[in-house]
Amino acid sequence: MSGPPGAAAPGPSAAPPATGPAHRAVPPRRALLAGAAGNFVEWYEFGVYGCFATVIAERFFTPAAAGPDPAAPLLAAYASFAVAFFFRPAGALLFGRLADRAGRRPALVLVIALMTLATTLIGLLPDRATAGAAAPWLLVLLRAVQGLCAGGEFGGAVALMTEHAPPGRRGRYGAWQSFTVALGLLAGAAAAALTASLLSPAALSGWGWRIPFLLALPLGLTALGLRTALPGPPTRTPSPEPAPAPAPGLGTVRAVVLGVGRIMGWSAAGYTFLVVLPSYLQSTLGASFREALIATTLANLGFAASILPAGRLSDRVGRRPVMLAGALAVALCALPFLHLLRDPDAAAPAKAAALLAAGATVGLLAGPGPAMLAEMFPSSVRCTGLGLAYALANAVFSGCAGLIVTALTAATGDPDVPAYYAGGLCALSALALAGLRGDDHRGPLR
């Protein structure tokens, strides 16, 4: 890996190279659609799981099995949530190397096929009342498969989008990865809310929670079709074949560590405000299931609304100022945000505006983030490098968010724990983001 992490090597054009299995020419819009569709399915499932964490705790992790603590079932459900994240780094290495060596399409087709299968099987999984002690272990196994797939999804999708973006639009095209995260989370929350509104609480807990998981099957098959239609690796020619993609070296490891530092605030704030929020509002503030879903939907709307503008703005002014603004906004405003939500005298419109704003600050990080990571790695290790940085940050700072927030809140009785968690990590992330070069967005990808 040549040059410092985050700096683009000089070159005459921002267009992707035409040689090598990873870079078969793909029309920009087709690359964007194929990458975004699979990402949407992945995050739809994660949104559904976050919304139904309390129901899953009841069906798969009973108090008798998990311990005398009434919070234990929810902690067990979040533990299975975290398991998927800790398999992400392995998936980033496995599928990232496949994408860097054999091309983006084979890896992206494989991950969406496996993700769709695992999500559908969760919807069909027998609960503890039917399968006994095997039920939670089967759930954890399927979550592990999802984690492997999700680890390979990000690197391949972001590489596909940014490598085929028109010159000067990497931030905008990369932002679609984050935008489909928002769309997937919104779709998951909407599916959960619609199911909850149409069914009685008993029906929802008994079998209705399965419906949103089963909807992943047609969604996944659609994404699979889009990815299968991508051009494959180029056919053999008389010219010498390019050398195989080298194994990631020490320079790549340094860039991965730096990348984790730059996005850990994004990971922590995103999951605290967008995924963990429903269970936090129910268990800590006594909100109803429907109220918690409405609040989460508002936060995700704010998130979705800011992502694409943030990506476009980063193409004009650079990744650093936009992402720094988001990190500092979360660090400064997380505590007042939670205080406003807990204030019984605060007006409903004020709380709604706060939820929208909280999501929007995360969007300032998520919009430029994918392009920023893609610009840190050369083509030969791009999928592996950026996928591993993202997977590690998510495993540590997102996958554990539910566990950490729930456990610390229960242990201390302090309802401000989510604000300390998200705000503190965003403050640390701001230090790493300050080292970004101001002109990385202008040069070609290496």
pLDDT digits (tens, 9 = 90+) for 260-276: 999 999 999 998 888 77
Residue 71: predicted pLDDT? 62
Q: Say whether pLDDT at 73 is over 70.
A: no
| pLDDT score, position 69 | 60
Per the CB < 8 A criterion, the answer to whether 151 and 90 are in contact is: yes
Residue spans per domain, the chain: 22-232+250-433
One-character DSSP codes across 51-69: HTHHHHHHHHS-HHHH-S-
pLDDT of residue 374: 94
Report the pLDDT value the prediction gives residue 9, as an integer from 0 to 100. 39
Residue of 419, 399, 415 lying closest to 286 (CA atoms): 415
Q: Helix, strand or coil for residue 199? A: coil
% of the chain with per-residue pLDDT over 90: 42
If you average pLDDT over residues 379-397, what whole number do you get?
91
Closest by Cα among 306, 305, 295 to 272 = 295
Distance CA 217, CA 156 (A): 21
Average pLDDT estimate for 354-383: 94
- On the question of pLDDT at 103 being above 80, the answer is yes
- Of 72-81, 124-133, 154-163, 284-293, the one with minimum mean pLDDT is 72-81
Q: What residue type is 261 in one-letter code?
A: G
Task: Read off the pLDDT of each residue in 74-101 and give the average, rounded to a whole number.
Answer: 82
Whether 446 has a pLDDT exceeding 80, the answer reads no
Q: What is the mean pLDDT of residues 97-116?
A: 92
| Res 99: pLDDT | 92
pLDDT the model gives residue 115 = 92
22-232+250-433: CATH topology: Growth Hormone; Chain: A; (1.20.1250)
pTM value is: 0.81
Report residue 78's pLDDT band, with 50, 70 and 90 as the boundaries: low
Least confident of 116-120, 135-139, 216-220: 135-139
Q: What's the pLDDT at 233?
A: 60
CB-hemisphere CA count at 13 Å for 375?
A: 31
Residue 222 dihedral angles phi and psi, to the nearest 5°: -65, -45
pLDDT at 2 over 80: no
pLDDT in tens, 144-156: 898 899 889 899 9
Residues 287-296, mean pLDDT to the nearest whole number = 80
**What are the pLDDT digits (tens) for 36-55?**
998 898 889 877 887 787 78
With a pLDDT cut of 70, the percent of the chain lying above it is 86
Q: What angle do CA 62, 64, 66 make, to 5 degrees?
A: 65
Q: Which residues contact residue 428 at a Cβ distance below 8 angstroms, ignoring those fewer than 6 apart?
A: 261, 264, 265
- Both tokens of residue 329? 């906004």
Residue 428 in contact with residue 264, Cβ under 8 Å? yes
What average pLDDT score do residues 400-409 get? 78
Instruction: Give the model's pLDDT for residue 211.
Output: 94
pLDDT score at 72? 66
Instruction: Calculate the average pLDDT of the chain.
Output: 83
- Residue 184 — very low, low, confident or very high, per pLDDT cuts 50/70/90? confident
Q: Is the dihedral of CA 355, 359, 362, 368 positive or negative?
A: negative
What value does the mean pLDDT take over residues 98-104? 91
Mention every residue, 6+ apart, whose C-beta is less than 8 A from residue 112: 38, 41, 149, 153, 220, 223, 224, 227
Lowest-confidence region among 10-24, 90-104, 339-353: 10-24
What are the residue ranges of helices labelled H in 165-238?
170-198, 201-203, 210-214, 216-228
Residue 90: band (very low, low, confident or very high) from pLDDT cuts 50, 70, 90: very high
Residues 125 and 103: their CA atoms lie apart, in Å, by 34
Question: Helices 72-86 and 134-163: crossing angle, nearest 10°?
Answer: 40
User: Are 272 and 421 in contact, with CB atoms under 8 Å apart?
Assistant: yes
pLDDT at 13: 36
The answer to whether 28 and 164 are in contact (CB under 8 A) is yes
| Block residue for tokens 């997102």 | 398
**What is the distance between the alpha carbons of residues 260 and 189, in angstroms, rounded to a whole number?**
28
pLDDT at 288: 78
The residue-averaged pLDDT of 157-184 equals 91
Q: Is residue 24 pLDDT above 80, yes or no?
A: no
Q: Residue for token digits 């029906």?
A: 203
